[in-house]
């Protein structure tokens, strides 16, 4: 398979049957798989990698490559097979089954171990190697000419566990930093009709998991199910992978924020009760006096507690939640400004517009115009 090609270093003594070579040199060869890598050369060559990080790239759900850096050179391990030889042959529309004879067959759970082992051998350094989020990326070949080709966007178990842990702590800053992983690949390159259903299923499963994490941390069951239903409704309305991934990030931040608000160590039982009530019943006619009565304390006492602990008044807390909900409602094509005002508990549209502008710096109509074309398509102001 690799006749007349000089690799930088062999790793066969480690029992892997794999080789490491320059990504740039590999792409200049006539190997049958080089064209699949070529489509992603710009992303792979400009991807900002730290010393202990490596990228895992899966092409057409059957070939996996590992890319890392050493001494200012971008190196590549692979390809390896993550499908059977027969499945790979169909996916790639290749007639010569002998092309796969030299390829090692691996599972996705083995990729991190392989990447870490080869990098350790290559760099002669003992460190904890980090595998960046796993994506399956199609080549630029038109899928209409190859109906068997498909892809999905997914996270490995380590990434999922890390997100779960961060969410449970309610640490928004850490979660936002962690979600920057999603920005390390050009999502425009993974848009495909074939991948849409698989990605939606993945996002829906993640949202359901987020809801139960929040419930386990003490948040209201019905409230969290309502949050999940709204996110799932939105993801089902999307017609592209990119919007689904953006919603996955948004939902992770949303649930982390809810958990942080609920678990805030400085909040008394009164403030927690009010915040929970607002999040669950923001569309209702909530009043400070009514909640004070439910808590069996005076309105003035409850007002002081909220102000001291949150630095906000009751009305600010209520309106802030209502506007966050309004921003989501406005993204639905069937909702106009008047309808959203009513859904969020505002009696008058003019009042809603005033409060919306106070919190966002824009009127609802201006907010709609600022949204991406995908999200604002068909929306009425």
Tell me what pLDDT residue 140 has.
33
Tokens encoding 43 = 């992303």
The pLDDT tens digits of the residues spanning 148-160 come to 333 344 455 566 7
Give the residue, 196 or 301, on which the prediction is more confident: 301
Cα–Cα distance for residue pair 243/260, rounded to 1 Å: 26
Mean pLDDT value across residues 65-88: 86
Tokens encoding 107 = 């599972």
Radius of gyration of the chain (CA): 26
Mean pLDDT value across residues 30-41: 82
The pLDDT tens digits of the residues spanning 260-280 come to 877 765 678 888 889 888 888
The pLDDT tens digits of the residues spanning 173-231 come to 788 777 775 554 444 444 444 567 777 877 888 888 888 888 777 776 767 888 888 88
Say if CB 103 and CB 82 are below 8 A apart. no
What do you get for the CA distance between the two ends of the chain, in Å? 61
| Banded model confidence at residue 2, pLDDT cuts 50, 70, 90 | very low
Say if CB 1 and CB 57 are below 8 A apart. no
Backbone angles phi, psi at 21, to 5 degrees: -145, 165
The pLDDT tens digits of the residues spanning 238-254 come to 887 778 888 888 888 88
> Among residues 161, 347, 169, which one has the least CA distance to residue 258?
169
CATH topology of domain 268-376: Arc Repressor Mutant, subunit A (1.10.10)
| Residue 289 confidence (pLDDT) above 60 | yes
Mean pLDDT value across residues 14-23: 69
> Among residues 233, 240, 198, 229, which one has the least CA distance to residue 331?
233
Tokens encoding 187 = 């999502």
Give the residue, 258 or 139, on which the prediction is more confident: 258
| Residue 101 confidence (pLDDT) above 90 | no
pTM: predicted TM-score of the whole model, two decimal places: 0.40
> Among residues 239, 168, 231, 223, which one has the least CA distance to residue 204?
231
Cα–Cα distance for residue pair 261/118, rounded to 1 Å: 44
**Pairing outcome for strands 135-137 and 19-22:** unpaired
**Helices and strands in the chain, H and E counts:** 18, 7
Tell me what pLDDT residue 175 has.
82
- CA 72, 64, 127, 118 dihedral sign is negative
Which residues have CB under 8 Å from 175's CB, separation 6+? 163, 166, 167, 252, 253, 256
Cα–Cα distance for residue pair 165/174, rounded to 1 Å: 10
Q: What letter does residue 103 receive in the DSSP assignment?
A: P
| Banded model confidence at residue 292, pLDDT cuts 50, 70, 90 | very high
Residue the block writes with tokens 């607002």: 278
Using CB atoms within 10 Å of the CB of residue 48, give its burial: 0 to 12 exposed, 13 to 18 middle, 19+ buried.
Answer: exposed
Tell me what pLDDT residue 206 has.
83
Say if CB 7 and CB 53 are below 8 A apart. no
Which residues have CB under 8 Å from 290's CB, separation 6+? none
**Pairing outcome for strands 130-131 and 135-137:** unpaired
What average pLDDT does the chain have? 76
Query: Domain locations in the chain?
Result: 1-151, 154-263, 268-376
Mean pLDDT value across residues 36-52: 80
> Among residues 117, 110, 111, 121, which one has the least CA distance to residue 8?
121
**Max intra-chain CA distance, the chain:** 85
Listed in sequence order, the DSSP H helices in 131-240 are 157-169, 172-178, 193-216, 221-237
Mean pLDDT value across residues 4-16: 45
Which residues have CB under 8 Å from 42's CB, separation 6+? none
Tell me what pLDDT residue 374 has.
39
CA 304 from centre of chain: 39
Tell me what pLDDT residue 147 has.
30
| Banded model confidence at residue 346, pLDDT cuts 50, 70, 90 | very high
| Banded model confidence at residue 353, pLDDT cuts 50, 70, 90 | very high
Phi-psi region of 345 (alpha: psi -120 to 50; beta: other; left: phi over 0): left
Say if CB 164 and CB 213 are below 8 A apart. yes
Tell me what pLDDT residue 265 has.
59
């Amino acid at each position: 398979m690799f006749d007349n090609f000089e690799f930088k270093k062999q790793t066969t003594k480690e029992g892997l049957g794999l080789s490491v070579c320059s990504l740039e040199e590999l792409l200049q060869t006539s190997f049958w798989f080089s064209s699949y890598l070529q489509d992603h050369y710009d992303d792979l060559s400009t991807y900002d990698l730290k010393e202990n990080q490596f990228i895992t790239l899966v092409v057409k759900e059957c070939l996996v490559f590992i890319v890392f850096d050493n001494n200012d050179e971008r190196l590549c391990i692979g390809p390896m097979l993550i499908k059977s030889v027969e499945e790979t042959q169909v996916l790639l529309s290749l007639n010569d089954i002998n092309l796969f004879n030299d390829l090692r067959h691996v599972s996705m759970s083995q990729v991190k171990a392989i990447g870490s082992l080869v990098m350790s051998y290559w760099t002669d350094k003992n460190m904890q190697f980090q595998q960046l989020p796993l994506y399956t990326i199609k080549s630029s070949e038109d899928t209409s000419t190859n109906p068997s080709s498909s892809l999905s966007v997914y996270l490995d178990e380590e990434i999922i566990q890390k997100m779960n842990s961060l969410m449970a702590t309610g640490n928004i800053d850490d979660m936002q930093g962690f979600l920057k992983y999603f920005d390390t690949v050009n999502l425009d390159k993974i848009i495909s009709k074939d991948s849409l259903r698989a990605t939606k299923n993945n996002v829906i499963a993640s949202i359901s998991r987020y809801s139960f994490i929040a419930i386990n941390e003490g948040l209201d069951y019905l409230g969290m199910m309502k949050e999940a239903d709204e996110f799932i409704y939105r993801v089902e309305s999307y017609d592209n992978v990119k919007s689904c991934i953006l919603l996955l990030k948004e939902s992770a931040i949303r649930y982390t924020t809810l958990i942080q608000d609920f678990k805030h160590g400085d909040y008394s039982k009164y403030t927690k009760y009010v915040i929970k009530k607002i999040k669950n019943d923001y569309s209702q006619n909530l009043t400070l006096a009514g909640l004070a009565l439910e808590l069996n304390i005076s309105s003035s006492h409850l007002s002081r507690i909220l102000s001291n602990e949150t630095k906000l008044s009751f009305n600010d807390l209520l309106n802030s939640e209502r506007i966050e909900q309004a921003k989501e409602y406005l993204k639905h094509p069937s909702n106009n400004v008047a309808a959203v005002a009513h859904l969020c508990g505002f009696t008058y549209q003019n009042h809603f517009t005033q409060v919306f502008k106070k919190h966002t710096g824009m009127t609802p109509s201006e907010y709609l115009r600022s949204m991406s074309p995908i999200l604002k398509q068909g929306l009425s102001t």
